[in-house]
Amino acid sequence: MVTLISKSPEDTLDLGRQWGREARAGQVIGLDGDLGAGKTQLVKGLAEGLGIRARVHSPTFALLHVYEGGRTVLHHLDLYRLNNPEEVFSAGLEDYLFNPPGVAVIEWLSRWAGPFGSAPPRNPWPAGFRWVDLEVVDELTRRIRYEDFGH
């Protein structure tokens, strides 16, 4: 597991940009952590790194936003309003975890799969899966931990 400290929104944006430049079709990035920890901020950078010009918004009232025009399509999911894996399955979102078209980034993945250390939704994790946990340390500081699975 890798632990990074972000000291500003710009730091988090930069991390997202870097991941976006490295991302390949089929990759899934699951984000979890405190409210306002910077998950959407990371997605904004990710979209930029993929070469997407559209502005990324928090999909608060939509479960899914699709961003095209970059190196690969980006599917941005936010599971905050779902309660459990059954609801995720009922909403027809499973493919974004196991067989995503392009790159998928999923906020509040814990609605679906447990946090670090607990059982994955399937064993093994799908190839190219990155689990990310963001934690608020203070007003401008975030602890970002991530781990790659299925490589």
Ligand X SMILES: Nc1ncnc2c1ncn2[C@@H]1O[C@H](COP(=O)(O)OP(=O)(O)OP(=O)(O)O)[C@@H](O)[C@H]1O
Residues that bind Mg ion (CB under 5 A): 39-40, 58, 107
110 binds ligand X per the rule CB under 6 A: no
72 binds, among Mg ion, ligand X, none (CB under 5 to 8 A by kind): none
17 binds ligand X per the rule CB under 6 A: no
Applying CB under 6 A, among 2, 3, 22, 36 the residue interacting with ligand X is 36
54 binds ligand X per the rule CB under 6 A: no
85 binds ligand X per the rule CB under 6 A: no
Q: Which of 77, 99, 73 is nearest to 87 (CA)?
A: 77
- Asked if omega into 126 is within 30° of 0 (cis), the reply is no
9 binds ligand X per the rule CB under 6 A: yes
- Residue where the block lists tokens 């995503």: 100
Residue with the shortest CB distance to ligand X: 38
Q: Closest distance between ligand X and the C-beta of residue 147, in Å?
A: 18
For the chain, the C-alpha Rg in angstroms (whole number) is 14
CA 74 to chain centre: 11
Label each residue of 98-145 as H, E or C.
HCCCCEEEEECHHHCCCCCCCCCCCCCCCCCEEEEEEEEEECCEEEEE
Q: Closest distance between ligand X and the C-beta of residue 138, in Å?
A: 9
12 binds ligand X per the rule CB under 6 A: yes
Residues in the chain, total = 151
Q: Closest distance between ligand X and the C-beta of residue 30, in Å?
A: 13
- Report yes or no: 38 and 114 within 8 Å, Cβ to Cβ: no
Would you tell me which residues interact with ligand X (CB under 6 A)? 6, 8-9, 11-12, 35-41, 58, 107, 140, 142
